[in-house]
Amino acid sequence: MKKLMAANWKMFKTWDEAGSTARVLVELAAAKLPEDREVLVCPPFTCLKAVSDAFSGADRFSSGGQDFYITDEGAFTGEISPAMLQDCGAKYGLTGHSERRHVLGENDEYIGQKTAYGLSAGLSVILCIGELLDERKAGRVEEVLERQLRLGLKDVPADVAPHRISVAYEPVWAIGTGEVAGPAEIQEAHAFTRKVLVSIFGEKANEMRILYGGSVKPTNCAEIIALDNVDGVLVGGASLQSESFSQIVLA
Ligand code: PEP
């Protein structure tokens, strides 16, 4: 299973900035990218084509959408479909990111619909899960992760190839805060996530990637990526500069 080194650029970058960041990333990282790694960048929708174009011809570099709606087209002002993302070169889509859950109000049921629809429309999907600090303090980490996994993956077609489903464990208290979960916390959460995935999908869950996200930096990536059941990282702030993201990708 190739490790997935994924960037979430959130609502940052213009077309020109995105294209040049992606081109420099390829210059810095493509030739040295280990065989067992893949790179993914999820820019704002307006920059998707710029990133896809910059990655064309770069082996194991792809682009993805940060969000999508649950139908192909229609009167849904402001929304975008998986087909439209794919038209701009996207191979992946994110669902359940904590900012969509906790800032934009998406619930588990809707996130589950998106995950299933994105997969059926041909995207590979990264379902993000993670507990709030209060939930951790109350000893509810497993309860929260299990609920988010079971509802988030509820309608996934049984015949989907396992490499098209990834889960990103992103403790909300570690996102954009500089606070990284410790190795024991990451391993526990990832082992639990694997156990739930196996209970849902059987043995093929061992071929699904579980990424860690939350203040990943060039200085901590190598240690995180070496942990059991860590099959990649999802990086926000430190992915915005090609120099720092290239160091993460190659760590
Ligand atoms: C994220 O947005 O998914 C994320 C992990 O952000 P950061 O790396 O900035 O904590």
CA nearest ligand 1 atom 7, residue: 236
**Average pLDDT value for residue range 77-102:** 98
The answer to whether residue 131 is catalytic is: no
Confidence (pLDDT) at 89? 98
36 CA distance to ligand 1 middle (Å):
23
The answer to whether residue 170 is catalytic is: yes
Rounded CA gap, 241 and 227, in Å?
25
117 CA distance to ligand 1 middle (Å):
24
**Is residue 67 in contact with ligand 1, taking CB distance under 6 Å?**
no
Domain ranges of the chain: 3-249
Confidence (pLDDT) at 178? 85
> Is the pLDDT assigned to residue 137 strictly greater than 90?
yes
> Is the pLDDT assigned to residue 164 strictly greater than 90?
yes
Confidence (pLDDT) at 196? 98
The CATH number of domain 3-249 is 3.20.20.70 = yes
**Is residue 215 in contact with ligand 1, taking CB distance under 6 Å?**
yes
* Phi and psi at residue 98, to the nearest 5°: -60, -30
In contact, 27 and 17? CB cutoff 8 Å: no
Rounded CA gap, 73 and 31, in Å?
39
Which residues neighbour 202 within 8 Å (Cβ) at sequence distance 6 or greater? none
**Is residue 171 in contact with ligand 1, taking CB distance under 6 Å?**
no
Q: Which atom of ligand 1 is nearest to the CA of 175?
A: 10
User: H or E stretch including 113?
Assistant: helix 108-120
Confidence (pLDDT) at 158? 81
206 CA distance to ligand 1 middle (Å):
25
118, two tokens: 């994105």
**Average pLDDT value for residue range 121-130:** 98
Among 2, 3, 1, which residue's Cα sits nearest to residue 212?
A: 3
> Is the pLDDT assigned to residue 20 strictly greater than 90?
yes
> Is the pLDDT assigned to residue 129 strictly greater than 90?
yes
Instruction: Give tens-digit pLDDT for 34-87.
Output: 999 999 999 999 999 999 999 999 999 999 999 999 999 999 999 999 999 999
User: H or E stretch including 5?
Assistant: strand 3-8
94, two tokens: 């994110």
Rounded CA gap, 243 and 223, in Å?
19
Distance of CA 148 to the CA centre of its chain: 15
Confidence (pLDDT) at 192? 98
R_g over Cα of the chain: 17
Rounded CA gap, 201 and 213, in Å?
23
Rounded CA gap, 84 and 64, in Å?
11
How sure is the predictor about 157, in pLDDT bands with cuts at 50, 70 and 90?
Answer: confident
215 CA distance to ligand 1 middle (Å):
6
- Catalytic residue (choose from 38, 99, 170, 190): 170
**Is residue 214 in contact with ligand 1, taking CB distance under 6 Å?**
yes
Average pLDDT, the chain: 97
Q: Which atom of ligand 1 is nearest to the CA of 215?
A: 10
Instruction: Give tens-digit pLDDT for 176-232.
Output: 888 888 999 999 999 999 999 999 999 999 999 999 999 999 999 999 999 999 999
**Average pLDDT value for residue range 122-149:** 97
